[in-house]
Structure 1
């Protein structure tokens, strides 16, 4: 148990899983934003030893998942370590939080009594800093898949002072697409209005301040039309971005392959 007397969090529990070239640190904190316990996994590469200034990459999961899914299903930490080892990206911390575990998916948006947006944008960076010893002001990036892509694109635009760049894979582009995946009715997201419902509105509202961003989608994905619509709307508005399409559907084989592009894209911004 971590001594939490000087902590941002009331309680913190930490456990480490050694990996071949690094450490997967599992953390549970009492989140002020959620008023409940919440989980995150932090991958610390071997090259992080003695460093307090490492860039921090946050990856958000999709519906049904939790903090462990990017590592166990997507092997994201292994991919990052391989890229670091061959010098294609610099040493970076990889942070994989839960979405707050509400229903089939919180959407990473504020609800009436739990702020899932603040959990990601405020609590998670603090948890990383406290439990790894990294500088809270180190460069931060955010990416995600499906619902996590929605969260990453929206929060990356909205919190441009926090995130240096952002990216999405197979992204939901509007909260109104959540019923494609979840059983909760849209009325269950009552505190979300206006630009908080749509990626395009969030980006356009902050386009003078946001960092670089990219998104991609598989041509067989059920969200491909929504991603194409987003790309067209941003292009018509004169926003600079990168959008790519690749073979594949809404599946882990796609995300495991293409998260490489997100890591390399973030490294290019350093």
Structure 2
């Protein structure tokens, strides 16, 4: 008699959403990391429907947003499906979680009573696996924009066992920059480990186990000088990375355009 499979989550709600391509799912789970409900959108391209170990790309949103922005504002699923159809990418699943919906943005950090980092690193992969039947051991990648870039660069560096590569677009590089976007006090984001305040310090701390990573920023972005400073610091420290600047600001047209480079970068790691 086989043992009945148990869910990672106490409660789950799952539904298919209308989509021009592939299959889009909306999911709400009771997150163990948050002790609260949390949402994510999951996109399965047509070519992945009968596969069981498909690479998963987790896309983190910025402040003020939620799980729906990468699809409805960023058209990430359309970009992915087009690139797979064109033979540029192998089949990949997109996971687009909320940040936990704390304040203007959780920072994807551990807070006093909720662990928004653990939500992304542990709960989201379980949610994708349960919603799609995809193997939890499939390769996972992580990318994000703005606050999501801060999250992706830090979590990718801290969890090489989970993420095979990571990317930041227009990234906040230190929690000191959060007041540019949020009204909550910086004291709410203070971490026990000061290295968690900074992308640079996180990456330096975990340099021995770093997976491939890249980041980029628009030349008209309010965060451009912070990203340039981060690039210079990596060069001085001898940290292997890719960095690019492009025309554009802190806006969706920039992120829509440069998501393609992120997906190609992830596909390259699978080759």
Question: 1:1-270 to 2 correspondence within 5 Å?
Answer: 6-270=6-270
Distance in 2 separating the partners of 1:20 and 1:106: 31
Cα deviation, residue 21, structure 1: 2.7
Alignment: residue pair count? 267
8 Å contact 1:107–1:151 — kept in the other structure?
yes
Deviations 1:46-100 (A, max 9, x none): 1012101100000000000000000000000100000000010100000000000
Secondary structure of 1:25's match? strand
Deviations 1:130-175 (A, max 9, x none): 1110100100000000000000000000001110000010000011
8 Å contact 1:60–1:145 — kept in the other structure?
yes
8 Å contact 1:170–1:250 — kept in the other structure?
yes
Cα deviation, residue 17, structure 1: 1.4
Query: Could you list the runs of 5+ residues in structure 1 that have no partner in the other structure?
Result: none
Distance in 2 separating the partners of 1:171 and 1:189: 17
8 Å contact 1:111–1:192 — kept in the other structure?
no
Distance in 2 separating the partners of 1:19 and 1:55: 21
Distance in 2 separating the partners of 1:171 and 1:249: 12
Distance in 2 separating the partners of 1:127 and 1:162: 14
Distance 1:5 1:164, change over 3 A: closer
TM-score with structure 1 length normalisation?
A: 0.97
Deviations 1:232-258 (A, max 9, x none): 001100011000000000000000000
- Pairwise CA RMSD of aligned residues? 1.1
Hey, which bits of structure 1, 4+ residues long, moved more than 4 A? none
Cα deviation, residue 5, structure 1: 7.6
Secondary structure of 1:29's match? strand
8 Å contact 2:61–2:67 — kept in the other structure?
yes
8 Å contact 1:109–1:192 — kept in the other structure?
no
Secondary structure of 2:165's match? strand
8 Å contact 2:216–2:243 — kept in the other structure?
yes
